[in-house]
Structure 1
């Protein structure tokens, strides 16, 4: 599974300077041992240890391995073999993890489908990727399953095997370098989701870095809290199992309420949890002691210093991490352990690169790139083992985001990924400044919307905020929606902002709200906020 790559146009001298100023992850490369190979060994050594816990159901390693062999047999009966695409319609559950491992054990490519997606999106996706088969994990009532949809080349649907179903011998197979392992569909500017292809070594390198940095071992209980269609769900499903620990599956109904989530974490003895800042805020607000929780990982959005300080105060025994990455880079490529001093800074660093990853900072000048100077902001590029193959069936989109790595002739992938994020390297640590597409011009002045958001978010009267641009008779303006922390009137808060921001960065519109709208993954829904101004509702 290969895709064409773009060629990077650079200014003279860029290669040498980019290499000199790059940040490189240190530490040994992750072994290429497959997921099934590790889990099956744990099943032999500790058959009665709990592998997955979901609600009242505990599945031992022996039981989990049995289910994997049964699932692999069912897939083989559908003609699935190495390299085939297997679409899996699944919500978070123990069987969803079984399905992933069975697909991996056969050398096939896992394509998760979230049942919460619109039916039309699922239909279109299946028709486009034409998987060998489609697995329904507890989703037999889903409209797409009921329709019996058969995409070209698809042998059919299969469900999870019944207890006592036939098993198949499943010896651990050797991973093939560059082998596609799963495809994650991300939002696309065309309105059609893009399928980012992640390799076996990219996946294992990322998970190994998390296991090492978070010191995960057989005593840990790692929470699976992410939607199944998001890249962060992969390490949450697998990291605990790779070391002989336990995975605790958390349902949506629990995630949506801080007190319920805190009670669940306490009851299940969860030791490692990854969540977006919104959910972390709910958890802190629950004001419950969580003695078992030793690692809390913030992902997906900017971690505000005020929230980080609240975590450090409410959960003093818990290590807080800030991580950064993308589906196109096998999930996170930087990790930062938050220190008390970080909470006094304007922004929390996203950290240093994980092993086998190299980060470059480049500045676009008229379509030709140059290396950023020391301390200068530039756009972040990722090279190394974590860079994925590209977008499935989308050569033009792939060439626009994935490039030949001409900086590192020894790169294990030979690919560079253009993140589109603006960053700065300070003392060997990466500080993310926001999206390049969150840059606008107001009265001829270039404005970083994330900087405006960060400044307003630090005002004493503001708990949370989101900033969006809007057009006022053809002139670009800034609007802010904020959740109040005090009872101060909007006019007073706006006056405080005028003292903290240059004139061009001061929002013209202010909207005080009870909550900011969120997407299904807990991130702020900027599109919904922007639509308010497009429709003239403010």
Structure 2
């Protein structure tokens, strides 16, 4: 059974309760941005094109550095190994282990086979590993660790009833042949699990066209070229890890995989940025603040002279943090990025300017390429389009919108709708649950959640999920979870 069997088609989604007149109004007010992107391309195809240019570096981690040709061969060897284990187009491959060059090759291998990539973090408890693998219906777990497989991954795979295969075994495999199996741009490409209000995580399925469009949105807005080196700092279960490890490869640049110890040590991280020529970094605002604090206390660590861009995402970017960045790191632009996992990651970018620092809340910006944003408010007779200055809920349309949640039709129907506004490639509209307003200059400003979801250090959490888990314990009759910002109190 392939993952498509667990998904809803556009015609099976509910219609949005909005009148024809409001549809026309919403179209007129929509925030959109079109840009040509070849959605039939594949990342592995681009990797192999760049492999013809000589020994161009593609990815490095703490243990090795691979050129484009070496990366392509490793991906094809891994594809052969996966195929032996029953991986076919549309099936899911769980990939677990430490962040590294092998994970990048494993993703490309799933692309070659037309399979889906599912990250499984070795730091997760075994029960979550089993739940994620089981819900997605993965046919195997590829262990990318250099040493023995982590205990939680091994136990989780055993509970889920799937076989653990060591990526190291691919060294003896012949590279597979043939182009990537991309039957259509709407082919599902990866699954990422996010917090769920029922006590179980939900698996958001992203299509190839949404992923590729997001990669090129970063290329366009950041002006990425073959000279850029992008740091991969995010845990594998975070959506930003996808673009961090793939975006440089579509322009002939390099991925610098940063291990956890270095990523959490600002001085060591600053040293790595200088030594490896890192030009682009994306962090949650909490980490941006810590980086600024630590570098101010250790001036010998440097001022990140080679950095061109810092992207902040995952939680609200405080104006004070932005002010400090512009003052202390003037050589590197600061981008406030926003987007849900369900829509292929970021759907807006905003380059922070000194003029923004007078605002209580920074703009999250304008849409990335080929993304349509609608701000609607709900009234008794249905949804209505919001004019600039009015507060409403953000809906996302366009090529970026994913397929929904795997094997979870109820929660898919709660968040995804048939797109009434445009004839888009996906036919879907996603309800973010975020309250926004459109500023006079056309940028969006984030105002908070309309439900009980929160983000702590960039981690998306449903308070209802935590309550549901607590209430499973036989000694707990009822539970209520609230958030206290102790740092702000001090």
TM-score by length of structure 2 reads 0.87
Query: Are the aligned partners of 1:258 and 1:279 in contact in 2 as well (CA < 8 Å)?
Result: no
Equivalent residue number for residue 236 of structure 2: 228
Asked whether 1:378 is paired with 2:392, we answer yes
Measure, in 2, the Cα distance between the counterparts of 1:29 and 1:229: 27
Corresponding residue to 2:26 among 18, 22, 36: 18
Equivalent residue number for residue 157 of structure 1: 164
Query: Are the aligned partners of 2:93 and 2:141 in contact in 1 as well (CA < 8 Å)?
Result: yes
Q: Which has the higher contact order (CA 8 A, sep 6+)?
A: 2
SS in 2 for 1:166: coil
| 1:184-241 superposed Cα distances (whole Å, 9 cap, x missing partner) | 0000001100000000000000110101111111111100011101111100010111
Equivalent residue number for residue 140 of structure 1: 149
Equivalent residue number for residue 126 of structure 2: 119
SS in 2 for 1:149: helix
| 1:459-509 superposed Cα distances (whole Å, 9 cap, x missing partner) | xxxxxxxxx9xxxxxxx9x9863437xxxxxxxxxxxxxxxxxxxxxxxxx
Asked whether 1:354 is paired with 2:368, we answer yes
Asked whether 1:391 is paired with 2:400, we answer no
| 1:425-446 superposed Cα distances (whole Å, 9 cap, x missing partner) | 122211111111269xxxxxxx
Asked whether 1:192 is paired with 2:200, we answer yes
Q: 1:304 to 1:175 in 2, by over 3 A?
A: farther
Q: 1:143 to 1:430 in 2, by over 3 A?
A: closer
SS in 2 for 1:331: coil
Equivalent residue number for residue 475 of structure 2: none
Query: Are the aligned partners of 1:69 and 1:170 in contact in 2 as well (CA < 8 Å)?
Result: no
Query: Are the aligned partners of 1:391 and 1:397 in contact in 2 as well (CA < 8 Å)?
Result: yes
Corresponding residue to 2:278 among 270, 275, 281: 270
What is the CA distance between 1:373 and its match in structure 2?
2.9
- For structure 2, which runs of at least 5 residues remain unmatched after alignment? 297-301, 456-462, 464-479
Bigger drift between 182-191 and 133-142 goes to 133-142
Equivalent residue number for residue 326 of structure 1: 340
| 1:339-386 superposed Cα distances (whole Å, 9 cap, x missing partner) | 111122111111111121110011011372111133101000000000
Equivalent residue number for residue 442 of structure 1: none
Count of aligned pairs = 448
What is the CA distance between 1:269 and its match in structure 2?
1.4
Measure, in 2, the Cα distance between the counterparts of 1:325 and 1:178: 20
Q: CA RMSD in A?
A: 2.2
In the TM superposition, what are the counterparts of 1:443-482 in structure 2 within 5 Å? 481-482=485-486
Query: Are the aligned partners of 2:98 and 2:144 in contact in 1 as well (CA < 8 Å)?
Result: yes
Corresponding residue to 1:7 among 2, 15, 33: 15
Q: 1:360 to 1:146 in 2, by over 3 A?
A: closer
- Where has structure 1 moved over 4 Å in runs of 4 or more? none
| 1:285-344 superposed Cα distances (whole Å, 9 cap, x missing partner) | 213311110011010011111111111111111011111101100000111111111122
Query: Are the aligned partners of 1:7 and 1:404 in contact in 2 as well (CA < 8 Å)?
Result: yes
Measure, in 2, the Cα distance between the counterparts of 1:59 and 1:294: 24
TM-score by length of structure 1 reads 0.79
| 1:241-272 superposed Cα distances (whole Å, 9 cap, x missing partner) | 11111100111111222222212212221100
Q: 1:363 to 1:148 in 2, by over 3 A?
A: closer
Equivalent residue number for residue 107 of structure 2: 100
Q: 1:84 to 1:271 in 2, by over 3 A?
A: same
What is the CA distance between 1:147 and its match in structure 2?
7.3
Measure, in 2, the Cα distance between the counterparts of 1:69 and 1:33: 17
Measure, in 1, the Cα distance between the counterparts of 2:135 and 2:250: 33
Corresponding residue to 1:249 among 245, 257, 264: 257
What is the CA distance between 1:115 and its match in structure 2?
1.0
Equivalent residue number for residue 487 of structure 2: 483
Equivalent residue number for residue 307 of structure 1: 321
| 1:361-414 superposed Cα distances (whole Å, 9 cap, x missing partner) | 110113721111331010000000000000000000000000000111x21111
Measure, in 2, the Cα distance between the counterparts of 1:398 and 1:83: 19
Measure, in 1, the Cα distance between the counterparts of 2:230 and 2:245: 8
Asked whether 1:260 is paired with 2:268, we answer yes
| 1:136-177 superposed Cα distances (whole Å, 9 cap, x missing partner) | 11152424426762746x5x3311134343222142444513
Measure, in 2, the Cα distance between the counterparts of 1:132 and 1:397: 24
Identify the structure with the greater helix proportion: 2
Equivalent residue number for residue 425 of structure 1: 438
Measure, in 2, the Cα distance between the counterparts of 1:479 and 1:334: 27
Asked whether 1:407 is paired with 2:418, we answer no
Q: 1:141 to 1:249 in 2, by over 3 A?
A: same
SS in 1 for 2:58: strand
Measure, in 2, the Cα distance between the counterparts of 1:361 and 1:90: 40
Q: 1:367 to 1:137 in 2, by over 3 A?
A: farther
